[in-house]
Structure 1
Amino acid sequence: MSRDAYVEKLKAQIDEWNAKLDQWEAKAREAEANTKISYERRLNELRQQRNEAQSKLDELQSAGEQAWEDLKSSAEKAFSDLQAGFERASSHFQ
């Protein structure tokens, strides 16, 4: 897969996660106090992971042809960690 195709794939995934975060944030605003605290904690964790994944994506975009292959594995780990976090949170917000 080319760097450009890979970057576009990761951008689409971040967009999908951002949409889920928006939905869950709306749900958290409507929740009762105790539930709201739990929701906010989980949302903050996911935002932090999303920011790390976005940072890796930014590094990939600015990397030269040779360097992007080296950065690819760390980006994949960040995205994998974020995917796992979203899967865990998904059951919490359903």
Structure 2
Amino acid sequence: MSVQNSPQLPKLPSADQREAYQAKVAAELDKLNAQIDEFRAKADQAKAEAEATYYSRVEELAAQRDALLVKWQEVQSASEAAWQDINTGFEAAWNELAQAFDNAIKHFS
């Protein structure tokens, strides 16, 4: 099992490049989900005393991912005029999650 680096948010495009951006973000979200699954598998293999710590961190990551998905839905349904503003909040949530993943990777390594 090899835990990857945290998912990377693609660079914010102009409004006319939304579809390509959304496809890239969807691919990164798939990677993120795979990493959460990988962390869960590591937690399953951990000794009893470490298991609670693993599961706690994994559940924190999953909760942050779920909050990110809510923001992602807002981005996807945003009007052209609101695209940049809404995406700013999404990027902030993404960066928080990426930092949490980096911390988890260090902890699980």
- TM-score normalised by the shorter chain: which range applies? over 0.9
RMSD, aligned α-carbons: 1.1
What are structure 2's unaligned runs of at least 5 residues? 1-12
Aligned-pair CA distance for 1:3: 2.0
- Counterpart amino acid of residue 77 in structure 1: A
2:42 maps to 1:8: no
Give the alignment's TM-score, normalised by structure 1. 0.92
Partner of 1:83: 98
Number of aligned positions between the proteins: 94
| Residue pair 1:29, 1:36 contacting (<8 A) in 2 also | yes
Partner of 2:44: 29
- Counterpart amino acid of residue 86 in structure 2: L
Identity %: 38
2:69 maps to 1:63: no
| Alpha-carbon separation, structure 2, partners of 1:34 and 1:73 | 40
Residues 33-81 of structure 1: CA deviation (Å, up to 9, x unaligned): 1100000110011011101111111111111111121101000000000
What are structure 1's unaligned runs of at least 5 residues? none
Give the alignment's TM-score, normalised by structure 2. 0.80
